[in-house]
A and B are shown apart, each in its own frame.
Chain A
Amino acid sequence: MLTLISGVFFQAHGQELTFGLAAQYGSYEMNDLKGLQSEQAKIISDSLNTTPKTMYDFPAYWGFRVSTSYVKNRHNYSLHFGYNSTGGRVHYGDYSGVIQVDKQVSNNNFALGYSYSIVNSKRFKLTTGISLGIAFSTIDAQDLVEIYVSEEKEQRTGKYRGHQFFTSPEICFTYAPFKFLYLELTAGYHHQLSSSAMHDNSAGDLNNTKGETASPNWSGYRLGAGIGYKINFKK
């Protein structure tokens, strides 16, 4: 794929081809999953009269993004591949056993983007742009109840899959200390446009107690820092 893209753009004149890798820290709205986790915690509390604790409630976490761009003058045309994950855990444990409700949520996303360089010097660039993409999400759910004294252990797992469309506006500051290398800082917002139901072949769709579908919502800010390699084509 990269070879194909490189081949196309190498024929151009006065242009750049960049390859970048950036770590990305993002927050995630995840309302459905938070609600679902809260319901599950309440069920545990009500049925066992324990006080399970929500250890993780789908917090912001690190991801990454790999990008390649074709730059012509001030116009950048990009292809992004990213990965994000977060999770939720409700947990209670004592000497006699443990209750653990985990949801590991991640996605692999692909996006096509356009950006315009507002500042376009030899070493510095400041660009703003927007991308449109799709995220393929996975929820690894694992419910565990283990009573040591009775040597009972009940574990239930599910792997729910679904996809979401999103758009992501972004500002990027690039510094190129060398001719072929650059550093970048990005800030943007991931806005999820829609989501399919999360489905497991065995368990079916992921629903809350009301029967409504529960799906991840990846909307949230994105902050990134990366490094890239660029190839300049000059006549």
Chain B
Amino acid sequence: MKASLFVLTLLLVFQGCEFPLEDENIVEISNVPKNNITIALQDLPDTVDVFTNIDISYSLDVENYPAIAIFVVVGDQAEYIGYDYTGIFTLSGMTNQITTKGYLPFEFVVVSTSRTGSLADRSQRELILFSQTRVLYFDYTPVKSVNFTKVEEKDGSLTLHWDKYPHRNLIGFWLQKTLPKNGEVKNEYIELDKNATSYHDDAYIGTEVEYVLKTINSRFMEAWGEKLNMNLQPSKILSFDAAGSNQVKLKWKRPHFYNNATGYQITQNLSWGTPIYSNANQSDTTYILNDVPFGSELKLFLTAKSNKLSNNTITESTVWLGKKRPMFKTVEYNKNDGSLFFLTSTHLIREKNGVRDSVHCDFIEGGSTYMSPDGQSIYISTIPGITKVSTATLAQQESYGVVESYSSFLPHGSHIITVHNLPFDPPVIKVYDKISGNTLQTFPLTDIPGSTTSNKSVSRISETPLNNYILADGLGHVALIRLANDGSVESAKYVTGRAAVMSAAGNHIYVFDDYRTTYTFPEFEKVEGSDIPCELHPSGYIYDTGKRLIAMHNNWDTIILADMETLEPLTTIRIASQSGSYALKNGVLFVSFSEGNSYAYDPGL
């Protein structure tokens, strides 16, 4: 029994002595990580404003291209980003941790293996972290409107001011500028810096404009401030004066915001054809328009030019050459005292030494006037008849009962000589008795030898120096009419021509056609070899002005002022193509047009 127990004990002892597995393969390696990663978060300040989803760019400077995993941690939330060495990611879901405003820590974490070669490293359990931290500032406060607080005009420029937006979650800040432009409403949206508190408008020049500030916060809620309306009236053309033949000098005052203009443009809008544009510099306040037709009115637009959207029409003006006297029917000049007499349909106006006086006068439409050679009286065609008015007192002196239609008249002694040049009737000279108004004599010009009924036309008569001759000219005919001592027409002589004037010396009569031909006075005989070429229009007018000749050029848009004797042009003036009458009196050119306006211009003769 004892032996059996001994054997069993031995068995158990040997069973416990099984093969020992004791040796181990422990490898000595360094536990110092071999990875080094440098993180660069592009343009990400220490405190990052987060008002909406935000994109963050990153790049990693790595060695040996280790396997990595990138996470971002915002507050208590982490999000896996990826494993690329460079990239961009958007913070979106994690931005909802704060509902109004506040700060949260932000950490950009790169997880990588240690590359120690250890078992933990190779099983990707030995990880090392590289990180960069920031602070995120969240601001979701409701949007607030911004109003202008100050409008400043300085050095010709406009600056708008407002208070700084009180919150940091402003993602859009706009200035809307509204202004009428070419008949439409134009809006311009100007993006402002979020921290801006002023805007310098380098485009506004004047007139209507509306400014309003628009704010948009991070939740894309927007607010509009109060509108600021400005309506500074533009500068006008202050004056326009004749600067020479067919030149008008414009003068204007520079606009409020002249520094916003790059220059000026003057547009001449004609009633026909395309507009004519002229340019002036930004510093200019004057400009001379050339080639302005005398006797016409130009509609001008003075425009300030700008490189940006602006309401830049400064003014619209109507200008003309010379001095305009509206509704003057005709004008007479008293060479004895230098006074001028203008006639409207209702008044006789005297202008002397810059002073005007007037008297009521029912001037006949289309009627004529006559200034006595001594300057004491002016004769006017009125409804009751021809009226004689004192040039000194404007008092009516006499009235003559000549009421028949006539184109011009000539008081002569106790008679009134009229020229009847009416349509469809042959021209007739009639002699009236001043007092009774009775017709004393009727003298058809068709009775003049060589004349025909078809080409008789008398448009004007003038008294010769000897008082007993009348010079009548018209289309195709010039007549020298001799008056009898009783004032009646005694005889008349007819020559071919379109206009005639008496020479200054009084011994010749110049007859104009294609040539100027000199005739003797009073014989009215042609001086042989006296023809001088003359460019008068066949239907042009010529006026006796003493030593100077005023004549319509045959191109119909130019007046020639020439020396009477030599016919040397003194000046030429472009005129508007309108029918009218011209007179050069005391060196001043007067033009009366049928539409009722008269113009006076000193051509400097």
Contacts and interface: CB of A to CB of B under 8 A. Distances in A.
A48 B123 contact: yes
B151 interface: no
B485 interface: no
Contact of B125 (A87, A89, A95, A150): A150
Contacts of B15: 83, 108
A66 B11 contact: yes
A148 B31 CA distance: 13
Interface string B53-64: 000000000000
A148 B27 contact: no
Interface in A142-172: 147-150, 152
Nearest to A63: B14
Given A2-B3, A2-B7, A3-B4, A52 B25 contact: yes
A86 interface: yes
B439 to A, nearest CB: 141
Chain B contact-residue range equals: 20 to 34
A91 B22 CA distance: 10
Interface stretch (B113-121, B184-192, B258-266, B470-478): B113-121
Interface string A78-101: 000101011101011111111110
B10 interface: yes
A92 B26 CA distance: 6
A87 B20 CA distance: 8
Contacts of B11: 66, 81, 83
Contact of A97 (B4, B19, B120): B120
Nearest to B15: A83
Nearest to A23: B14
B76 interface: no
A149 B126 contact: yes
Contacts of A56: 19, 21, 23
Interface string B1-43: 1011001001100110111110111111101000000000000
Contacts of B122: 48-50
Contact of B21 (A48, A53, A102): A102
B112 to A, nearest CB: 14
A149 B120 contact: yes
Contact of B25 (A21, A55, A86, A104): A55
A94 B125 contact: no
Given A94-B29, A150-B120, A66 B7 contact: yes
Nearest to A87: B19
Interface residues of A, number: 44
Contact of A92 (B21, B27, B125): B27
Nearest to A152: B125
Interface in A178-233: 229
Interface in B97-136: 116, 118-123, 125-126
B125 A93 contact: no
A66 B10 contact: yes
Nearest to A49: B122
Interface in A16-52: 19, 21, 48-52
A54 to B, nearest CB: 9
Contacts of B1: 3
A89 to B, nearest CB: 5
Interface string B266-307: 000000000000000000000000000000000000000000
B52 to A, nearest CB: 39
Contact of B119 (A55, A94, A106): A94
26 contacts: A3-B4, A21-B7, A21-B10, A50-B119, A56-B19, A56-B21, A61-B19, A66-B11, A81-B11, A87-B20, A91-B24, A92-B27, A92-B119, A93-B25, A93-B26, A96-B119, A96-B120, A96-B125, A97-B118, A97-B120, A98-B119, A104-B18, A104-B19, A104-B21, A147-B126, A150-B125
Interface of B: 1, 3-4, 7, 10-11, 14-15, 17-21, 23-29, 31, 116, 118-123, 125-126
Given A51-B27, A95-B118, A96-B119, 16 more contacts: A55-B24, A63-B14, A64-B14, A66-B7, A85-B18, A94-B119, A96-B116, A96-B118, A96-B126, A104-B19, A106-B19, A147-B123, A147-B125, A149-B125, A150-B125, A152-B125
